[in-house]
Structure 1
Amino acid sequence: MDLKLIETDPKQKDFSQVDALYQQAFPADELYPAELLRAHLNDKNAKFWSIYDQAKWIGFTYCMTEKDLTYVGFLAISPEFRGTGYGSQTLKLIKEKYANNRVCLLIEEVERSYSDFEARKKRLSFYRKNGFQLAGFKIVELGVTYDFLVAVGQSLRSSEYLTLINNYTGPIYAKIVNSHTVK
């Protein structure tokens, strides 16, 4: 495995794969409005990264940075490569690329009341295995409740994340995304 992250945008040939996987890998209620993503395509603090193993396209990640905080907004591995270690290796690469930052992410809330509890529990286990821990608060965005995770040994306050996401979304989309903490 010779994994690398390569910045991509709509002008690159792999971006159609990024867009298709983005639409397929995440529930519709978790997708950011397309206009919001497009508005940040040239933003130095928000990057789509294609994941390659040599010349083979594996998936993508989307990271947003504010000061010393990097939020992994999306990470998706193409279905044919899932379960082969690419997700773990990608998280390692992200933490290396943003080594001077605190790296964080959201996962769907892990509670027994959800019909897909086992899948959510498995996802949490995956991130724990890859060096993330619960940050001690939950976030609601677009009406979906998430557990907030941060790289082991790092910490942050919910207000720091809310500043990042509200600066990213801007005043119009901040109302739509409606990011806020819950206990």
Structure 2
Amino acid sequence: MIQLQPSMQPSAEVKALFDEAFPLAERRPWPRQLQLLADRKLQLVELRKEGAFAGFVFYWWLPSFSFIEYIAIAPAARGGGAGSYVMQLMADKLGAIVLEVEPPDTEQAIRRIHFYERLGYQTFPDVYEQPPHHPGHGPLPLRLMYLHLPTDLTFETIKQTLYKEVYQIT
């Protein structure tokens, strides 16, 4: 079984998988990631399976929902429902969840969206742009998916909360 271990200091394995799993345009610069952890704005759980590194989840506790910003399962731990199990553990821990996904333009993006849909997530139909993490990069067109949101929480409110709290855009 995979266990969630809260961490304030990411292991070298977290950093390596972070760099491997996410393209540069989607990755916050690592020093900034560490600063957000130190400031206790960003949360990290390392995933362990029989003591071995199995992945990580970076997430935010926000006023009306939690935002899973990055999740990655280590190659050796993939398969057998590991991702579904971790997402269920996170749903139990966090309640209302929002996450970003690529638009359904590639086979991999479609598979990822279907994975989340099988877990009960729904997709907002609205256009969403992730602000750039790096100077000179443009915004990324993404979609927002959600689970267990209060019915009065709108797409616009969620977007503005993410822009303000996660991306520091006012």
TM-score normalized with structure 1 length: 0.79
Count, aligned residues: 161
Output the CA distance in 2 between the equivalents of 1:80 and 1:93: 20
Paired residue for 1:138?
A: 127
Which 4+ runs in 1 deviate beyond 6 A? none
1:124 and 2:113 correspond: yes
Output the CA distance in 2 between the equivalents of 1:30 and 1:4: 26
Output the CA distance in 2 between the equivalents of 1:119 and 1:54: 29
Whether the aligned pair in 2 keeps the contact of 1:110 and 1:124 (CA below 8 Å) is yes
Paired residue for 1:105?
A: 99
Q: Percent identity?
A: 21
2:80 pairs with 76, 84, 101, which one? 84
Tell me which protein shows more strand as a share of its residues: 1
Whether the aligned pair in 1 keeps the contact of 2:46 and 2:53 (CA below 8 Å) is yes
Output the CA distance in 2 between the equivalents of 1:70 and 1:36: 20
Paired residue for 1:61?
A: 57
Paired residue for 1:35?
A: 31
Secondary structure of the residue aligned to 2:15 is helix
Whether the aligned pair in 2 keeps the contact of 1:65 and 1:164 (CA below 8 Å) is no
* C-alpha distance 140-148 of structure 1, shift in aligned 2 (>3 A): same
* C-alpha distance 94-169 of structure 1, shift in aligned 2 (>3 A): same
Paired residue type of 1:148: L
- What per-residue deviation string (whole Å, max 9, x for no partner) do you get for residues 7-53 of structure 1? 1233xxx6110010000001111101223212211233421110112
- What per-residue deviation string (whole Å, max 9, x for no partner) do you get for residues 84-125 of structure 1? 2111011001111113xx1010111113xxxxx111111111
Output the CA distance in 1 between the equivalents of 2:109 and 2:87: 18
Whether the aligned pair in 2 keeps the contact of 1:50 and 1:61 (CA below 8 Å) is yes
Across the aligned residues of Structure 1 and Structure 2, the Cα RMSD in angstroms comes to: 2.0
Paired residue for 2:3?
A: 4
